[in-house]
Amino acid sequence: MSDTSEDWPLYEVFLRGKRGLNHVHVGSLHAADAQMALHHARDLYTRRNEGVSIWVVASTDITASSPDEKDPFFAPSGDKVYRHPTFYAIPDNVPHM
Partner 1 sequence: MDTYDAYRAITDVTEDQRWAFGAGFDDPLSGVDTTIPGGVSADDLGAYCEMLGDDALLMSHRLQQWVGHAPELEEEAALANIALDLLGQARFLLARAGTVDGSGRTEDDYAFQRGPAQFRHVRLVEIVDSDFGIAMARLLVFSTWRLAVLDRLRASRDPVLAAIADKGVNEMTYHRDYAAQWVIRLGDGTEFSHHRVQAGLVQVAPFVGELFTDSDVETRLAAAGVGVRPSETRAEFDAALDAVLSAATLTCPAWSASGGGTRIAGHRDTLTRLLAELQSVARAHPGAAW
Partner 2 sequence: MTTVELQEHFDRTIAHDRRIEPRDWMPDGYRKTMIRQISQHAHSEIIGMQPEGYWITRAPSLRRKAILLAKVQDEAGHGMYLYCAAETLGVDRADLTRRLINGDQKYSSIFNYPSLTFADVGVIGWLVDGAAICNQVPLCRSSFGPYARAMIRICKEESFHQRQGYELLMTMMSGTRAQRAMVQDATNRWWWPSLMMFGPPDNDSPNTQQSMAWGIKRHTNDELRQRFVDMTVPQAEALGVTLPDPDLRWNDERGHYDFGEVDWAEFKRVIRGDGPCNTERIGNRRTAHESGAWVRAAAAAHAAKHASPATSGNHQTVRQSAQGGPDE
Residues making contact with partner 1 (CB under 8 A): 8, 18, 29-32, 35-36, 39-40, 43-44, 47-51, 78-82, 84, 87
Quick one: what does residue 48 bind among partner 2, partner 1, none, with the CB cut-off 5 to 8 Å set by partner type? partner 1
Angle at 17 between CA 16 and CA 22, to 5 degrees: 35
Q: How far is the CB of 74 from partner 1 (least distance, A)?
A: 17
Q: What are phi and psi of 86, to 5 degrees?
A: -75, -10
Closest CB 1 distance from partner 2, rounded Å: 9
Alpha-carbon gap, residue 60 to 33, rounded angstroms: 13
Closest to partner 1 by CB, 64 or 90: 90
- Comparing CB distances to partner 2, the nearer of 29 and 56 is 29
DSSP 8-state symbol, 95: T
- d(Cα 28, Cα 61) in Å, to the nearest integer? 13
